[in-house]
């Protein structure tokens, strides 16, 4: 779609119920410089902060973290770039200090990069304070959290974007163009997931200079994600991190935009990897060797779509393995698989042979990457973190719909509590709620198709 068409679509959507990301007032509309705050300036917050600091259209106005070391590092990043020191909140350890930051009336947007258990409450508070939200994955923990975040967004009209960066990966966006040009024919089956050995993230020694590995501590004795993320592996069993895998698959299949998830189930393997890691690295007598982890090492979730596609997600974070999100996008005329970096298109590729995907990706390179690829170089996760921040800021500046909006956020993230329910019921197949209340039938694709964001 051409930019002109996008703009007219934007204005047609404004004022309609389809326009779930519209600003309530004109807080940031038409501004060329935004005052942005951040809640949670840990390892991820600092990566996103780097993207904010290097933009001329952003003033990092306020930062909040309850861990003084993390907060200090973040302030240092801003001042080292020659920018004014932001106001700070939370150094006294008050978990609700962020509310004073939101109520200061001085923010055009806030990034939430805290532990998962805080995302829903913080987003709701921000939306009620009329501060637009860019929220790190996930949207909430329980299913009720998801309904509450959706309800707050719809009632306040404050924009909400899930900062799902994998949707902006260069190959993922090239494949989006391939899908939309019909290269793979009619889509039939997709796969993705989060296949990332996180054992050295879930355990460390608690040393603030060594966030990854070097020990088997977690909880109060751990540092960064080991402080909070590991507890989710102790207590929960489900697809705990769905959006990196489902985000691109949902884009390809137009979920909430002419298509929807109808059914879901999840199967979990036994939980053996984390215990084995603790015993091998901390010894059988380490207190954490007695921890019973609930999270199955491989959780396989299957989704059925209204248009007849099936999607499989795999969550695999507790066993040794090289990183791969395991994408597969398959239709009546061909497919892409990311693990072997290959494409096959019937009638163009040699029969029964793979093409090197790079040739296809060059041809279908997305205009966003063509335009901003050099700027994105050096940004986190191979450049995609540039794009996710860019999208949030540009949409706010234009008072345009959030590219990954509240319906996407809630639908993708709710896979977690639904998968937990399915597993708890003996791998039962469940109906998938329609969070759009029927609007999925008429909503149009609105993101990642032109060269702006
Ligand atoms: N999109 C990605 O690629 C990506 C990568 C890594 C992490 N993440 C997400 O980012 C989020 C943060 O992860 P992280 O790796 O930075 O973890 P982290 O533990 O390093 O940072 C979280 C920070 O939040 C702070 N915090 C906790 N409660 C708070 C409160 N009530 N008020 C203010 N600050 C509070 C902690 O002190 C900590 O500094 C998570 O949701 C994680 O899933 C996303």
pLDDT digits 0-9 by tens, 423-432 = 999 999 999 9
| Each residue's pLDDT tens digit, 145-196 | 999 999 999 999 999 999 999 999 999 999 999 999 999 999 999 999 999 9
The reported pLDDT for the residue numbered 378 is: 82
Atom 30, ligand 1: residue with shortest CA distance: 95
Asked if residue 10 has pLDDT above 60, the reply is no
Best residue for ligand 1 mutational test, from 114, 220, 387 (most atoms within 8 Å of Cβ): 114
Give me the pLDDT at residue 2, please.
Answer: 31
- At residue 16, the pLDDT reads 33
Mean pLDDT of 84-90: 98
Report whether residue 95 contacts ligand 1, using a CB cutoff of 6 Å: yes
Choose which residue among 77, 91, 115 to substitute to test ligand 1 binding: the one with the highest number of ligand atoms within 8 A of its C-beta. Answer: 115
Mean pLDDT of 358-378: 94
Stated pTM of the model: 0.94
Question: CA–CA distance from 67 to each of 19, 93, 224 (Å)?
Answer: 37, 7, 10
Going by CA atoms, what residue is nearest to atom 6 of ligand 1? Answer: 44
The per-residue pLDDT for 385 is 96
Give the alpha-carbon dihedral of 177, 181, 185, 189, to 10 degrees. 20
Q: Is the pLDDT of residue 85 over 80?
A: yes
Cα(119) to ligand 1 centroid in Å equals: 10
* Ligand 1 centroid, distance to 411 Cα (angstroms): 21
Q: Which residues contact 64 (CB under 8 A, 6 or more apart)?
A: 37, 38, 39, 40, 41, 71, 88, 89, 90, 97, 98, 101
| Predicted confidence (pLDDT) at residue 20 exceeds the cutoff of 80 | no
pLDDT reported for residue 30: 65
Q: Is the CB of 113 under 6 A from ligand 1?
A: yes
The greatest distance separating any two alpha carbons of the chain, rounded to the nearest whole angstrom, comes to: 66
Tell me if domain 26-158 and domain 167-367+406-441 are identical in fold: no
Ligand 1 center from residue 118 Cα (angstroms): 9
Bridge partners, 190 (sequence order):
311, 329
Q: What is the pLDDT of residues 202-222, one digit of tens each?
A: 999 999 999 999 999 999 999
Give, using CA atoms, the residue closest to atom 7 of ligand 1. 44
Q: For residue 314, is pLDDT > 80?
A: yes
What is the edge-to-edge ordering of all strands in the sheet holding 160-162?
Answer: 87-89, 58-64, 34-39, 109-112, 133-135, 160-162
pLDDT one-digit tens code per residue, 247-279: 999 999 999 999 999 999 999 999 999 999 999
Judge whether residue 137 has pLDDT over 50. Answer: yes
Atom of ligand 1 nearest to the CA of 241: 43
Q: What is the pLDDT of residue 448?
A: 65
Among residues 423, 386, 212, the alpha carbon closest in space to that of 298 is found at 423
User: Which candidate, 308, 300, 317, 273, places its Cα nearest to that of 192?
Assistant: 300
State the chain's mean pLDDT as an integer. 93
Q: Which of 37, 38, 39, 43 to mutate to test the pocket of ligand 1 (most atoms within 8 A of CB)?
A: 43
| DSSP E strands, 3-98 | 34-39, 58-64, 87-89
CA distances to 129, 213, 334, 405 from 65, in Å: 19, 23, 48, 26
Query: Residue 18 pLDDT more than 70?
Result: no
pLDDT band at 235 (very low <50, low <70, confident <90, very high): very high
168 CB within 6 A, ligand 1: no
pLDDT of residue 445: 80
Average pLDDT rounded to a whole number, residues 284-288: 98
| Band of pLDDT at residue 354, cut at 50, 70 and 90 | very high
Whose Cα sits closest to atom 43 in ligand 1? 137
Tell whether ligand 1 has an atom less than 6 A from the beta carbon of residue 51: no
Tell me the C-alpha distance between 317 and 323, whole Å. Answer: 9
449 pLDDT tier (thresholds 50, 70, 90): low
Percent of the chain with pLDDT over 90: 89
Tell me phi and psi for residue 282, to 5 degrees: -120, -10
Q: Is 125 helix (H, G, I), strand (E, B) or coil?
A: helix
Query: Residue 19 in 3-state DSSP?
Result: coil
| Mean pLDDT calculated for residue range 405-428 | 98
Per domain, the residue ranges of the chain are: 26-158, 167-367+406-441
Q: What is the pLDDT of residue 5?
A: 32
Q: Report residue 381's pLDDT band, with 50, 70 and 90 as the boundaries.
A: confident
Tell how far the Cα of 352 is from the centroid of ligand 1, in angstroms. 45
Measured in angstroms, how far is the CA atom of residue 111 from the centroid of ligand 1? Answer: 11
Does domain 26-158 bear CATH number 3.40.50.720? yes
pLDDT at residue 279 in the model: 98
- pLDDT score at 318: 98
CATH class of 167-367+406-441: alpha beta
């Amino acid at each position: 779609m051409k930019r002109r068409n996008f703009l007219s679509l934007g204005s047609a959507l404004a004022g309609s119920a389809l326009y779930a990301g519209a600003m309530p007032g004109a807080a940031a509309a038409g501004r060329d410089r935004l005052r942005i705050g951040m809640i949670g300036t840990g390892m991820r917050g600092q990566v996103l902060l780097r993207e904010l600091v290097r933009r001329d259209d952003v003033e990092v106005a306020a930062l909040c973290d309850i861990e003084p070391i993390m907060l200090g590092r973040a302030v240092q990043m801003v001042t080292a770039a020659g920018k004014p020191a932001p106001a700070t909140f939370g150094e006294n350890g008050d978990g609700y200090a962020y509310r004073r930051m939101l109520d200061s009336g001085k923010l055009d947007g806030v990034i939430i990069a805290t532990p998962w258990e805080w995302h829903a409450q913080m987003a709701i508070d921000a939306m009620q304070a009329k501060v637009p939200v860019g929220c790190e994955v996930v949207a909430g923990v329980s299913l009720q959290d998801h309904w509450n975040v959706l309800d707050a967004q719809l009632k306040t009209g404050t924009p909400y974007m899930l900062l799902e960066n994998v949707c902006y990966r260069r190959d993922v966006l090239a494949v989006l163009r391939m899908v939309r040009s019909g290269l793979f024919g009619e889509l039939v089956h997709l796969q993705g997931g989060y296949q990332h050995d996180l054992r050295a993230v879930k355990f460390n020694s608690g040393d603030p200079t060594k966030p990854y590995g070097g020990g088997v501590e977690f909880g109060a004795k751990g540092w960064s994600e080991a402080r909070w993320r590991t507890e989710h592996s102790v207590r929960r069993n489900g697809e705990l991190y769905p959006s990196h895998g489902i985000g691109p698959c949902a884009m390809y299949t137009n979920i909430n935009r002419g298509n929807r998830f109808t059914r879901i189930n999840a199967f979990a393997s036994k939980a053996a990897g984390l215990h084995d890691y603790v015993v091998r690295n901390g010894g059988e007598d380490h207190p954490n060797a007695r921890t019973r982890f609930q999270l199955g090492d491989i959780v396989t979730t299957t989704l059925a779509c209204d248009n007849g596609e099936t999607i499989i997600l795999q969550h695999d974070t507790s066993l040794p393995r090289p990183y791969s999100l395991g994408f597969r996008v398959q239709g009546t005329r061909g497919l892409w698989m990311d693990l072997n970096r290959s494409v096959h298109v019937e009638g163009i590729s040699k029969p029964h042979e793979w093409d090197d995907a790079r040739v296809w990706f060059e041809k279908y390179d997305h205009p966003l990457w063509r335009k901003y690829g050099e700027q994105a170089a050096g940004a986190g996760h191979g450049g995609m973190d540039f794009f996710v921040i860019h999208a949030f800021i540009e949409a706010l500046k234009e008072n345009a719909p959030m590219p990954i909006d509240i319906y996407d956020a809630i639908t993708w993230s709710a896979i977690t509590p639904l998968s937990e329910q399915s597993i708890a019921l003996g791998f039962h197949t469940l109906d998938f709620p329609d969070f759009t209340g029927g609007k999925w039938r008429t909503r149009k694709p609105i993101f990642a198709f032109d060269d702006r964001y």
